[in-house]
Each structure stands twice: as structure tokens, then as C-alpha cells.
Structure 1
Amino acid sequence: MLQHDVPASLVVFLVAVPLSLGIAVASGAPIAAGLVAAVVGGVLAGALGGSVVQVSGPAAGLSLVVVQLVQTYGWRATCMITLLAGLLQLLLGAFRVAKAALAVSPAVVHGMLAGVGVVIALSQLHIVLGGKPQQSALENILELPSQIINNHSHAVLVGVLTIAVLVVWTRLPRVRAVPAPLAALIIAAATAAVLGWDLTEVDLSAGFSSLEGPLLPQGDWHAIAGAVLLVALLAGVESLLTCVASNRLHNGPRADLDRELAAQGVANVVSGALGGLPVSGVVVRTTANVRAGARSRWSTVLHGVWVLVFTAFFAWMIALIPLEALAALLLFIGVQMVNLAHARNLRNHREMPIYFVTMVGVVVVGLAEGVALGLGLAALLALRRLAWVSVSVRQAGERWRVVVTGSLTFIGVPRLTDSLAAIPPGASVDLDLNLDFMDNAAFEALHTWRLDHERTGGTVDVDELHGEWYAPAVSGARLRAARTPPKHERWWLPWAYRHPVGGPAQAANGLCAYDEAADGPEAPAAATNGEEHAEQAGKAMPDLLEGTREFHRRTAPFVRPLLHRMARKQTPSHLFITCADSRVVPNIITASGPGDLFTVRNIGNLVPRASSAPPDDSVSAAIEYALKVLEVRTITVCGHSGCGAMAALLGETPELPALRNWLRHGRQSLARYVAFPGTEEDEGPLDRLCRANVIQQLDNLGTHPAVAELVRAGKLELTGLYFDIAAARVHVLDPQHYSPVPELRPS
């Protein structure tokens, strides 16, 4: 493990040192404070955290709030605020509330980071130009023209050089082993030293000894408590989001968010006590860690150790780095924090307004205020989406179709009533309700319109596609928050069990031939009245035409994209030979869809032998086409219980000449039936013959030369299935012992 983690830790160390220095400068803190946070974040948060690859340390996203705290309370008081924020994080982690942070809209987080990046870039740009940053982003923008006019040559040159190296370095494949930030600072420092440029040096000669302990902040305790809460939440949310993102970067153990939050709390307590910056998980260093090959948390811990050793023994090297070069590095980082990839993703989800409002709020007003504005807008947009409703009214032939989608509340009642007013009196209406919720005001408006429309001689067929809201309200039942499965999943029901019977009045009271309450033990009772239902439904409408209309309304929109792709070519994997019995539906019992099965159906699922006289070209043609053109690799023969064809073989063949002629292909099955052993599951002679028939048809398949050749070559598999209709269970038949193979059941 260490053979991967040690090299990765060195890479992260080389990235962390310059970034920690730059963030300390941007935060208005002592230079050593950034290195303290890097050491504590690496060692403590790395060892105790919930992610094995996340790297913690000072984060650019927190620099804006830190610089405001330093200006308000001083540096030592800011350290105490960091310590208290760590205690709060530790408490939140102990109460296991980390997942609540994931409820924060990513648009707010990305907008906040983008706003912080703009503020950092504007402030550091003044240092690169040889000036001093102003108190706010707006003042920095207003002061920028005078800074540009006054040519500070040496500062500008080292800044341009640093940024140029950062841009070009990653495009040079042979030098990628050296991180771009480190390379930029080394080249800038070396060039400045050789050319004798007059620049500001970073002073870290005293190392960690220059730091002082925390002091209690003085001032309004409400503001101080707010600052503690702000640091704890911002650092915690950024750490947890980075932790979640790290899961997508590696295949190791998944992150424990509560443990990570508690570890961040411990790190911030120690960092604040030692005079360091606030600690949080950092995306850039975490990504570098994973890409460098880290396998465990040892990489993160060791990178903190390397930072400690470097600061203790080589702090004098930092004094060679020009402050303007660090400012250029931060300017580059600030620009990168405005992540266009995140913006594109947010645009696809229509969350760009949240992103921009948060970013502009952070830049113009302040960090806390900008985040509050973003959260407020996110909440408003969420409420708007929850209350969104779409009402579509269009005429299809002699019928009108109304589709209501979304959450139908009192807010959507005006739109609903205006749309329904366009339907002429006496018209036949299909009302599709695809609703997440319906309140009482919406129900009253909809039900009143329906009753008024039916009084004019019109009809309204209500179909709830997503959740049951309307029908329970009509019947006076208590509405439940749980949603019922979408109605389109019940396509397998026979017509008689789906159609409303008794006209509009009965449908309005929720009476339907198929009773949802009978899904459990009472379902068979409903089946006993199938003939009565079928007779009533048959009188009401032609089932086949109604079924096609239902397909166009419910199923076609779902399958149309799939069928469009396979319209010119079919590539089934199975030739499925089964009985023409109406109770056997291949796509149901195999859970298959369009394009899966090339199906042949006939009386008794028979496969005439190749030598049969006269020959049967129908089944032979299907076999030939399936093997030669479609190149299927499996042929399945599926029989079923209570087969009428097998019953005819056992008794007298009915006076149906064509059927008698066809059943001659089943004589081999009848002969095999005598030798077919019975099982405990057999219901009698007919069941035995139905099973024997499947095995015989597999043998008959072997008489076809094309089948026999592919089977011998191992390119074709023959399988036998048996469908027990009463038990709704499929068995695989073993050709050797003619006994059902037990089906696999969930453990």
C-alpha cells in the first residue's frame, strides 16, 4: 500500500505548500498559519476522517470570511473563532447530522465559491500590479484603472511570468510530475533573483514560533456566535461536498460523512489552538491525491508530515518567493474557482439564477449575505417547482384529451378552469391526471366541472397515471401521502379488469372492474367474476379498439423512442416457440420487451420433424429465418399446464379436420408420455403429457440439419420451459430426467 501512498503524498505536499502560503496571504493571516492548517488538516483530518483519499487544509473558499474576521476582531481572536467552530463541527458530527449538509443546493455552493474566486482575483490583482487591495470588491474594481495606468514593472512582470507558467505547465507532458503551482513559484523566484527585480519577500524566518495562541474575541456576542456558525457551516459543507465528490474518484471504501465532519471539527480545534487557519476538505488537493495513485489515508497523513518537516528545516527557502508571485498564483486560483463546467450542469437543471445571485451577492454585499440570498432564491424556486402544474387540452377526433401534470393546488386552479372552459358541452373527454399532489381546492374545482359537464350529456373518463388523488377524494376515503404505482405498469391486466363498468356515475365513485384493494388475498375472488365483467365490458365498447387507444395514450410515448431506434432492424436473442393459448403471454413470463423474442405460436407448441410428410413449412421457415438471418443463439420451447392440444391427444380428437391433421405432429409426444416419469407436482396425466411434449419438441428440433449443426458446434442452445398457469410459475425442464428444476428465489 505504501508503495503507492508515499509517492502520492509527495505530489500532494508539493501542491499544498504554495497553495497554503497563498491562501494565508489572501486571508490576511500570518504566513505560517497556512502551513499549520496544512499540517493539522493532513495529519489529524486525514487519520480520523471518513474518506480515505480526501485531503484537508486551508481552503481558498474560506479566505474571504477569514479576512473579514481578521479585520473585525484581529488574528488571535479569529483563531478562537476557528477553535469554537471546530467544537461545533465535532458536536454536529456526534449527532450524525452530516447528511443534512447535502440538502444545500449545489448551485449555492458553486455560486459562493465563484463569488469568493472573483473577490480573491480582484484583490490579488492589485498586489500583482504593485498596489494594495481595497476593503471591498467594488472598491477594488473602482481602483483598478489607476492601478493599471501606473506601470509597476517588476511586480507586473513577475505576475505575468507566474501566470504564464501556470497556464503552459500542464500542457507540457514531460514535466507534469512537478505540480504547476510549485514550478511557477520556483521559476518566478529564480527569475526575480537573477534579474534583480525589486519585489516584496515573504518572511517566514521564525517558522512556527512566530504564531501566537488564540484569544477570546471582544464585541457583540451575537455577531461572534454568528461568525462561529458561519465558519463551522461553510467549512463543514465544503468538506462534505468534497467528500461526496471523492467517492467518484476512486473504487475504495465509501466515505462516512459523520465521521468526516467530526474529524474536521477535531482538526479545526487543534488548528485554532495552534494559531492556524480554518481547515476544510479541498477539491484540488484531493483530486491530485487520487490521480497520483493514493490507495489509503496514509497518503494524506504523510503529506502533512512532509509539510511539517519542510517548515521546520527549510523555512528559509520560502523567503525567496516574491509576494507578488504568490498573489499571481491566487489570482489564477480565483479565476479557476469560477468553474464553467459546474455552470453548464446548473444551466441544464435551470439553476443558473441561483448561481448568479449567490455569486453577485458574495461579490457586492458579502459572503454571508450572498449565501443567504442564494439559499432564499433556491427555496423560492423549489416551492415554485413543487406548485408547478401543466394543463394540456387538445381534440383527438371526436374526443377531447386533457392532461394535467404536476402538483395541482389552489395556485393552479385558475389555469385549470380556464383550460377546461375550452371544451364544448356534451363532448367526450379523456382526463389524464399525472399528479404528485392534489389539494381540496383543486379537487372541488375539478369535480364540479366534471359533474357540470356530465349534466350537459358529456362523458369524462378519469385516468390517474401516477398517484391516486381524485378517486379517493370522490369516494370520501382519506388521502395517503404514499403514491400508487403508475397505471401504465398494469398493462398486463385483461381488458375486463381495467375498464370502468356502469357508466360515468359508477366510474365517478371509484368502481372499476379491477379493484386495487384486491391486490392481495382477495384478488382471486375478483377473477371469479371475469366472465361477467367481460360480458359487461364487451357491451360497453369494442375491447380491441379500446386497447389500441389505450396503447396510444399510455404506452406509446414510453416505447416510441425505443421502437424508432429498432424500426429498420431486429436483433432478437431467442427463438421462442410456444402455444397459441391466450393465457400464455411470452413477454410477461420472461419479462422481455420489444426486440428480445422472435416468437412462433401454434396449437400445442409443436415443432414438426424435418422428415414429416407432408412437410410443415411454417415452423421450418421460422427456424430457418431465425438461425440464418437473425442468428439467434437460443431456441426455447415453452409448454403450459392444461394445454387443450394435449388434452385432445389424450382423448378423442374433436371433429375439427384441420386440428386433427395438425395434431399428427404430436404423436411422438404421446408415445413419450408413457415413459415420462411423474413427479409430486403433477396434477394428473394431462400435466405429465404437457411436460413430455416440451422435451419431445426439443428432440424434434434436433432433426432439422441447421439446428443439429449449430448445437454440435456449441453455437446454439436448446431449452425447455413449462408455465404453470394456476401458480403463475415458470419451470425449466431437465431433458435428462424430465423433472422441473427448482426456480431461483431471492435469499
Structure 2
Amino acid sequence: MFRDTKSSWLGTLRHDVPASLVVFLVAVPLSLGIAMASGAPLAAGLIAAVVGGIVAGALGGSAVQVSGPAAGLSLVVVDLVHTYGWRATCMITLLAGAVQLLLGVFKAARAALAVSPAVIHGMLAAVGVIIALSQLHVVLGGSSQRSAVANLMELPGQIADLHGHKVAVGLLTITVLAVWTRLPRKVKAIPAPLAALLVAAVTAWAFGWDVTRVDLSDSVTEWAFPVLPQGDWHLVVAAVLLVALLAGCESLLCCVAVDGMHGGRRADLDQELTGQGVANMVTGALGGLPVAGVIVRSTANVHAGARTRGSTILHGVWVLVFALGFGWTIQLIPMEALAALLVFIGVQMVNLGHIKKVHGHGEVPVYVVTLAAVILLGLAEGVLAGLALAALLALRRLTWVTVLKREDRDGRLHVTISGSLTFLGVPRLTHELRTIPAGTPVDLDLNIDFMDNAAFEAIHSWRLDHERMGGTVDIDELHDEWYTLAASGARMFPAKSPPMAPDRWWLPWAHRRRRPGSRTVPSNGGATQVECQLTAGAREYHRRTAPLVKPIFTELARKQQPTHLFITCADSRIVPSLITASGPGDLFTVRNIGNLVPRRGSEPHDDSVVAAIEYATQVLGVHTITVCGHSGCGAMAGVLSAGVQAGSLPGLRRWLRHGDHSLATFIETEGDRLHSGALDVLCRVNVQQQLENLRTYRKVDEQVRAGKLELVGLFFDIATARVHLVPPLRATPLVKTTDRRVAAGED
């Protein structure tokens, strides 16, 4: 235990202490700027940074997330300060913390993640625009207005009445912030906000510029207990809930984002919300800004190498030491420099990367509406507008119905209805169904996961009318039988059908669920059962696959142009198109017991394989001949037993004589491996020998030597589902590059 404690302390000293200093240097200027944007005493920003670091860092659920005053909350705070005063705003912060604490205790953190990110990103972008517009007036030597629209309208007059020194220090700050990221890494070790404020302060002092200095008359040591807000208690409760929810959502979303930046323990979101609640109660009681998890400082913490919550806590300690011992240095910072820092932060809050993300999911309208509403109406109103639009779009997606129609040559119409069938989709559903001509035979596929009574009535009424007019309707339900149950009067399912994994064409029949309507026929020798499975499979192919591959086969119907002759075993476990990722028209395939190629003139005489080789090389002009063997081959087991395992199968015994050369090569080259996986070794040697057998045909050998034809050996290990390349027994001159479809399984 002593060793573990010592190791922990050494890790903190090595990683967390340097990281905490980096975060401290970032946090001080940002905390002062956010306090300024919030209309709060500047000391309130430092108090929030201290409490966010020490309290939220110690009690939160994330080891590396940094909490403190957040720019996204400044718009709420400035409105609360104007409405209720600063001390009442502190009480609202305290009460909001209590709400967060209760939500965390009752495990409600996950619910906050249900808020659409498009709403959050739109809100933060709008707050950034508002901050930038308001602080731009301060940079230009004036004062900000009460709304973004007023700030925008007053901007031309403010530009016309420039204040030289104040504008100069603001522009200098923005310039340093903009170019700092392009400087060498050693220089960038100093955080950009701190460097910009230092440059601005030193320059203003050196040249004696007439700028406004930061006022710290409300020092950290002056404190008064918060008071209850006066006014309509409904509005006070709404303000408390707004602060609690916005700060909580921002903290939890930041927590999830930070989890993706490091490889340590994942965050406990409920514990994080509880820690944020306690921190907001403390900061409200001490006269600080609301606290939330902040992405800029958290990112800086992770990139600086933080490993534990010690870094977050220490950064709060450093801020406290600075405020108590070196707070007088803050008075050297020009207010215009802080305003310029806020302008820069505000512009960065309009993140183009977020717009691209929401665009990919069709949520740009939510982003734009939230942004515009927050700017024009206010934060609460904008967030509600964004949430309402997001809910409407989600409802539209959930109830969107697609109706696809396809007519066969015989006049039969295939109609597929997909989606969740509710009353909202009935108008479109009815319109599409009524366009079907009377008397048409219809195959109706219902690919749905829910059907309410209105949708059932619409489909059922159309079906009865269509059949009354001489048409036919065959309904097939791909999921649960919503229509069938409703038509029979049975009780409907209370919820949507659970998603079901689609049947894969490559799965064995025994691994697929039996479809409604498929017949199960008792069999004596198994033939009847296989016939039934094949018939069901053919119906499945016609219903699902044939429409997809029809264009390909229509093109292939005129001529085949395979590039490969593929010779493999008749073993049922070998699926050439599956293990080579090939499609229709790619492989000219020959299958036989043991993937054997009889040598020219060998006995017993066999023309079937020879005919395929001649046709593939001289008519089709294939580029490659591939021989593919497999593990545990029964034919090779028969060869290895000298025909004993062939038993009373005379045809098989005669055929396996073509494997004698493989056995001879195996004994000659691999005799020392007879007791170690002999069968699979023979299976590989057999592939090599069949490549040699191909060279006994003059046309094949001539094309190989001319570089027009390539011989490739493959070995499929059934147990691992891996395909391996098998090198030939002898090198071939002028060999071209091998097709590397199976290179991932190369030995």
C-alpha cells in the first residue's frame, strides 16, 4: 500500500502538477473575461474558477474535466443581474446547484443527453455572436447595448467615432491571439489568452496609452450573503431551472467529449452532475459565477498530460493563491484587452465543424432557428424554439412513410411500404395506394415496425375496395404481423417491433429464422426437406434479391466475361463467391471431389475438367486459374489412407487415383511432418500439385510462360474462416502481379 501511495504521488508530481499550471494560466484570463461579459464583478469569475477547480474537481465524475465560469452562461447571467441584481443572482446560482444535486442523486444525468446537439451548438454559437457584438463596442472605446440587434445597429456610429489608444490595444490583443497558434511549439507553451493580455498590458504601460484599467475594488475578500430575488416567483423558478439545466447540459456534453480525448477511466455522469450541483451551491454562496464543465480548459488539461483529478483541483488552488497574493496585477490589464479576448472567444464559439456535423444529419434548420431565436428573442426562448423544431423533425422522421412500386413484365405490381404507420402518414399512404389501377394483381410488402388503427383502416379499406374491383392483394409482413393481428381482431402490440437482424444470404438455412408461410415437410431420407428449403429459398430470392441484381444479370445475359477459372472442392462448406468477395460473372467455376486436375493422358480418363480448362483459356480468355483446397478435406483423407476410407465406393476410389502424385510429393517434401497435422499439410501440397498438373497441358503451359496466364493456389482454413495463398512448387518466369483479393489472409 505504501508503494502504491508513493507511486500515486510521483505520478501527480510528474503529470498533474505541470498540467494544472497550464490550465491555471488559461483559466485566469478567461474567468476575468467571462465575468466582464456577464456583467458581474470580475472577482466573481475568479471565485467560480477556484470553486470549479477544487469542489467540482474533487466531487465530479470525470477525472480530467475542468469546471469554471462558462461563456455559454454569460447571456443568462447578464440578464439576471439586470433583472434582480448581483446578490440575488448568486442566490439563483445556489438554488440551481441544489436542483442539479437532486437530479444527480436521482440518476437523471443521462436524460440531459437527450437534448439535440444541434440546439446546444446553435445556442453556443448565438451566445458567441452576442458576446462578440457586445464586446466589440468596448474594444472600439464605447459601451455595449442591451441586445444584439441594438449592438449591431449602433456599430457603424461606434466605428465612426474611434478612440485611438483603446482601439489599438484591442486590435493588438486580437492580433496576438490570431497569430499565436502559428508560432513554434516552445513559444506556444504559454497559453494564447495569457500571452495576449501580457502583450497588451506591457505595450499600454510602455507607451503610456490612455486605456481603461480593470477595477478590482470588489476584491475577493469582500463578501455578502446572497439574497432572495424579489419579483414574480414563477419567473424566479424558471430562472433557477434555466441555469441548472443549461449548466448541467453543457457540463455533461463536455464530459462526454472529454471522455473521447483520453484513455483513462470513463466518467460517471450522475456523479458529475452531483459534483456540479455542490460546486454551484458553493460558488453562489461565495458570490461567484455559475460553474459548468468547459471544453477549452478541459482540452488544455488533457493535452498537457493530466492523469487524475489532482490537476483540476490544483489549478483551482493556483487561482486562489493568485487572487489572494497577486490580485493587484490584474489592475494592469486594459479593459479593452479583456473585451478583445471575449470578441475572439465569441467568434470561435461559431464552430464550422459543428455546422458540418449537423448538416450530415439534416439538422441545420434546428441549428439556424436556435441561433436566430437566441439572438433576436433571448436565450430561453431560442432554446425552446430549437427544441420544438427538433422534436417536430424527429416526429416527422419517425412517422415518414415510403411507398415503392415496381411492375413486373407480367403486369403484377410489387408495392413495398416502409416506416412506422401512424395517422400522420395516412394521407400520403392513401394517395399512393389510390394511384394503383383497378384490377391489378398486387404483392404488398409491409416493412414496418408499428401500425396504428388509422393506418390499418386505410390499408384494409383500400384492399377491400381493390379486391371488389377485380384486383388481388397478397400481403407479406416482414416483421411482426401488425396487419394480420388487426384484421383478426387480436390485441395489438403495445410498442414498436424490436429491430430484427436481417437474414444474411450466406447463413446456412439452419441458422436463419423460419419465415411465415414456409412449409415444413417430414422427410424420410432428407430429400423432401431439402426440396422444401430450396423452394423457400427461391421464393426469398425472388422477393428480396432478384430486384436488386436484375440489372446486373440483364447486362450479363448477352455474354459472360469471367477473368478467373476457379477450381475447388465440392465440399458444401466452400462458397467461392463468399471467400473471394466476387460477384456474378467473375468466376468460371469447376468443382469436384478434392479439387483435382487430372494430368494430361492420365487414367482413369476424364474430360470434364479438361473441357472446362480448354473453354476457359481458349474461348473465355481468363487471366488466372486458381486451385483452392481446404482444411480437413475428406478426399485427401482418402488419398492418405491409400483408398481405404473410400470404402465400397468404386467410383470415388478410381477418381482419387488422380491424387497419387499429391501423395508422392507430400511424402517426398513433407515426410517429417506425418505426425503433425498431416492431413492439412497434404491438403496444401495437393493444391501445389494440381498447379503442376495444369502445366501438363501444352496450351496452359505456353500461356503461363508467355505471361498471359497466372496460376494461383489458395487454401481455405474452415475453422478460422481464413484464406491463405499457397506458393507453387516451382517459380514461373514472367509471372505478373497476383490478384490480391485474399492478401489479408496471406501466409
Q: TM-score range by the shorter chain?
A: 0.7 to 0.9
Q: CA deviation at 1:717?
A: 9.0
Query: What is residue 132 of structure 2 aligned with on the other side?
Result: 121
Structure 1: which amino acid aligns with 2:569?
T
Amino acid in the other structure paired with 1:650: G
For residues 142 and 718 of structure 2, the distance between their equivalents in structure 1, rounded to whole angstroms, comes to 84
For residues 391 and 547 of structure 1, the distance between their equivalents in structure 2, rounded to whole angstroms, comes to: 21
How many Å apart are 1:604 and its aligned residue? 3.5
Aligned to 1:470: 483
Of 198, 201, 204, which aligns to 1:192?
204
Matching of residue 5 in structure 1 with residue 10 in structure 2: no
Structure 1 residue 215: deviation in Å? 2.0
In structure 1, distance between residues paired with 2:121 and 2:253: 11
Ranges in structure 2 where 5+ consecutive residues have no aligned partner: 1-10, 664-676, 694-711, 723-747
Q: 2:569 aligns with which of 578, 584, 589?
A: 578
Q: Which residue of 2 aligns with 1:362?
A: 374
Partner residue, 2:733: none
TM-score for both structures, normalised by structure 1: 0.77
The alpha-carbon distance between structure 1 residues 229 and 576, as it changes in their structure 2 partners (threshold 3 A), is: farther
* Structure 1 residues 433 and 150, CA gap change in structure 2 (3 angstroms): same
Of 638, 655, 658, the match for 1:662: 655
State whether residues 568 and 627 of structure 2, in contact with CA within 8 Å, keep that contact through their aligned partners in structure 1. no
1:531 is aligned to: 528
User: What is the alpha-carbon distance in structure 1 between the residues aligned to residue 428 and residue 105 of structure 2?
Assistant: 49
Alignment of 1:441-590 (within 5 A): 441-465=454-478, 468-480=481-493, 481-483=496-498, 485=500, 487-489=502-504, 492=507, 512-514=517-519, 531=528, 534=531, 547=541, 550-553=544-547, 577-579=568-570, 584-587=572-575
Q: Judging changes above 3 Å, is the alpha-carbon distance between structure 1 residues 15 and 535 closer, same or farther for their aligned structure 2 residues?
A: closer
Give the distance between the partners of 1:617 and 1:212, measured in 2 at CA: 104
CA deviation vs aligned residue, 1:118-137 (integer Å, no higher than 9, x gap): 22112111211222222222
Instruction: Determine the structure 1 residue equivalent to 2:428.
Output: 415
Contact 2:40 2:81 in 1 (8 A): yes
1:432 equivalent among 430, 439, 445: 445
Percent of aligned pairs sharing the same letter: 55
Give 1:637 deviation, angstroms: 3.8
Q: Aligned to 1:407, what secondary structure does the other structure show?
A: strand
Structure-2 separation of matches of 1:429 and 1:409? 22
1:242 and 1:568 mapped to 2: Cα distance? Answer: 56
Q: Report the more deviating stretch, 134-143 or 349-358.
A: 134-143
Answer yes or no: is the 8 Å Cα contact 1:606–1:697 preserved in 2: no
Shift of 1:400: 2.3
TM-score normalised by length of structure 2: 0.77
Deviation of 1:374 (Å) = 1.2
1:103 CA drift (Å): 0.4
Match of 1:82 in 2: 93
Q: 1:325: Cα distance to partner?
A: 0.8
Partners of 2:721 and 2:295 lie apart in 1 by 52
Over 3 Å counting, the alpha-carbon distance change for 1:303 and 1:619 in structure 2 is farther
Separation in 2, partners of 1:311, 1:267: 19
What is aligned with 1:594? Answer: 581
Distance change >3 Å, CA 267–CA 448, structure 1 → 2: same
Give, in angstroms, the shift of residue 619 of structure 1.
7.6
> Is 1:306 matched with 2:293?
no
**Structure 1 stretches lacking a partner, 5+ long:** 501-510, 516-523, 671-690, 708-714, 723-728, 732-747
Paired residue for 2:111?
A: 100
What aligned pairs does 1:108-507 form with structure 2 within 5 A after superposition?
Answer: 108-174=119-185, 175-204=187-216, 207-398=219-410, 399-465=412-478, 468-480=481-493, 481-483=496-498, 485=500, 487-489=502-504, 492=507
Alpha-carbon RMSD across the aligned residues, in angstroms, is 4.5
8 A Cα contact 1:32 1:211, kept in partner = no
Q: Structure 1 residues 317, 27: CA separation in 2 closer, same or farther (over 3 Å shift)?
A: same
SS in 1 for 2:220: helix
Distance 1:173 1:350, change over 3 A: same
Q: Is the 8 A contact 1:669 1:692 kept in 2?
A: no
Q: Which residue of 1 aligns with 2:672?
A: none
1:736 counterpart residue number: none
CA distance in 2 between partners of 1:526 and 1:316 (Å): 95
- Alpha-carbon deviation of 1:576? 9.1
Deviations, residues 390-419 of structure 1 (Å, cap 9, x unaligned): 223343433323232222222322322322
The alignment partner of 2:407 has SS state of strand
Relative to structure 1, is the Cα distance of residues 167 and 461 closer, same or farther in structure 2, using a 3 angstrom cutoff?
same
Q: Which moved more, 1:524-533 or 1:76-85?
A: 524-533
Structure 1 position 371, deviation (Å):
1.1
Query: How much does 1:96 deviate?
Result: 0.9
| Partner Cα distance (2:721, 2:485) in 1 | 36
Where 2:326 maps in the other structure, the secondary structure is helix
The residue type paired with residue 269 of structure 1 is: M
Tell me if the contact between 2:99 and 2:244 (Cα under 8 Å) persists in the aligned partners. Answer: yes
Partner of 2:38: 27
The offset of 1:227, in angstroms, is: 1.4
Q: Distance in 2 between matches of 1:90 and 1:570?
A: 68
Deviations 1:550-599 (A, max 9, x none): 42336789x99xx9xxx999999xx994325xxx25359x9867349999
Taking the aligned partners of 2:330 and 2:55, their CA distance within structure 1 comes to 24
- Name the CA distance, whole Å, in 1 between partners of 2:490 and 2:580: 37
Instruction: Describe the SS at the equivalent of 1:210.
Output: coil
What secondary structure does 1:172 align onto?
A: coil
Are residue 50 (structure 1) and residue 37 (structure 2) matched? no
Q: What letter matches 1:388 in structure 2? A: W
Change (3 A) 1:286 1:692: closer
CA distance in 1, matches of 2:608, 2:329: 88
Distance change >3 Å, CA 206–CA 387, structure 1 → 2: closer
Query: Take 2:507 and 2:66, find their aligned partners in 1: how far apart are those partners?
Result: 53
Equivalent residue number for residue 686 of structure 1: none
Letter of the aligned partner of 1:436 in structure 2?
D
How far residue 55 of structure 1 moved from its aligned partner, in angstroms, is 0.7
Using the TM superposition, give the Cα deviation of residue 298 of structure 1 relative to its aligned residue in structure 2, in angstroms. 1.8
- 1:429–1:293 CA distance, 2 compared to 1 (3 A): same
Question: Could you tell me how far 1:260 is from its partner in structure 2?
Answer: 0.6
Would the alpha carbon gap of residues 695 and 471 (structure 1) be closer, same or farther in structure 2, given more than 3 Å must change?
Answer: farther
Residues 578 and 600 of structure 1 are in contact (CA less than 8 Å); yes or no, is this contact kept in structure 2? Answer: no
How far, CA to CA, are the matches of 2:491 and 2:176 in structure 1?
68
Counterpart contact for 1:32–1:210, Cα < 8 Å: no
Which segment is superposed worse, 411-420 or 459-468?
Answer: 459-468
* Structure 1 pair 357–147 and aligned structure 2 pair: CA distance change class (3 A): same
Is the contact made by 2:590 and 2:609 (CA closer than 8 Å) also made in structure 1?
Answer: no
Paired amino acid for 2:581: P
SS of residue in 2 equivalent to 1:433: strand
Give distance in 2, aligned partners of 1:264 and 1:125: 32
SS where residue 133 of structure 1 aligns?
Answer: coil
Distance 1:618 1:448, change over 3 A: same
Range 135-144 or range 95-104, more displaced? 135-144
| Aligned equivalent of 2:80 | 69
Q: In 2, Cα distance between the equivalents of 1:720 and 1:537?
A: 27
Q: What residue in structure 1 maps to residue 673 of structure 2?
A: none
C-alpha distance 293-410 of structure 1, shift in aligned 2 (>3 A): same
Q: Given residue 531 of structure 1, which amino acid in structure 2 is its aligned partner?
A: T
